[in-house]
Amino acid sequence: MKSFCIKNNNIIILDYLLTELKKINLEDMYISKNSFKYYKNIIVHYTGKNKEMFILKLSDVLTKCIVEFYEKNIVKRIINCDFFYFDSDEKSIIYNNCVEILKDENSNEFIERKDRIFSCLTEYISDHKFFILDGFVNFRLFEYHSIIEECVDVAVNKFIIDKEYREFIQLLKGYIDSHKNKTDIIHVIYSNSEPILLDKMQNILIYNNQLENPKYLSDISFSSNDYCLNALLNLLPKRIVVHLLIDEDEFIETLKLIFGKRLVICKECNICKTFELLNVHS
């Protein structure tokens, strides 16, 4: 016979556990609920011979319970403790970033988190007759907490990168708004190869070596997209027509954010068709 008592005072958690425990398809298992001086208790009795299976099934229910009811609070506690210097709005964004990471059930992190909880539970239940659920989560699951801390770090890094990106966009928009246009229109041919710039007469512009203002490049490791962006910032066209030969990607989204209404997307004009044919035969 094996009995295990779960102590907790959260009614919602207790109701969840009772519901999930009743779903366990195992003969000779009995569930009772009692209240003592400090805690409400769910006691699970097993009188059968397959004690190992009983422990595995009980551990599985408790694992799901911990992920469901404790994980988000652990995230909040880590953010408030380790990243106290962010304001409330920034903490909220970081929290949401982390929750998005944690809820991916196909990720290695999700599987590893559940494995850590599950293995710790099976070991503990095998050797003990009861636990206080809150205390077990807070003081026994060290490796589980470490994995969540790593996820919070990833969420913080994402927040910082996104913030720097938004500031970069605003800097470039401010630069554009404070300078006069230098040319009427620039065509950008965008395909899998390097972007091609055409002037209003549809002549190809050579821009890779024109680094008049390299401070406007987005990275120290210059790509063809960086050179293209720098050329557009130097030319400051009144209108930019992007002839898109592939699906929109991050670079196109960035151009749209920077240049706003002066940028239009084209997919079916004569220029598009000409360069599509060139790409096919190249």
- Give mean pLDDT in consecutive 10-residue pieces for the chain, a chain of 282 residues: 96 97 94 91 96 97 97 97 97 97 90 96 97 96 96 97 95 93 96 88 78 51 80 94 94 95 95 85 54
In this prediction, residue 277 carries a pLDDT of 87
- Asked whether 69 and 12 are in contact (CB, 8 A), the reply is yes
Q: Are strands 237-244 and 183-190 parallel, antiparallel or unpaired?
A: parallel
Element (H, E) at 158: helix 142-177
Q: Is 65 exposed, middle or buried (0-12, 13-18, 19+ CB in 10 A)?
A: buried
In this prediction, residue 42 carries a pLDDT of 97
- CATH 3.30.420-classified regions of the chain: 180-281
Token representation of residue 173: 């928009």
In this prediction, residue 226 carries a pLDDT of 87
Question: What topology does CATH give the domain 180-281?
Answer: Nucleotidyltransferase; domain 5 (3.30.420)
In this prediction, residue 220 carries a pLDDT of 45
Full-model pTM? 0.82
Buried b (16+ CB within 10 A) or exposed e, 43-57: bbebeeeeeeebbeb
Q: Is 164 exposed, middle or buried (0-12, 13-18, 19+ CB in 10 A)?
A: exposed
In this prediction, residue 199 carries a pLDDT of 95
In this prediction, residue 221 carries a pLDDT of 46
Q: Which of 272, 135, 137 has its CA nearest to residue 202?
A: 272
In this prediction, residue 212 carries a pLDDT of 53
In this prediction, residue 101 carries a pLDDT of 94
Contacts of 25 (CB under 8 A, 6+ apart): none
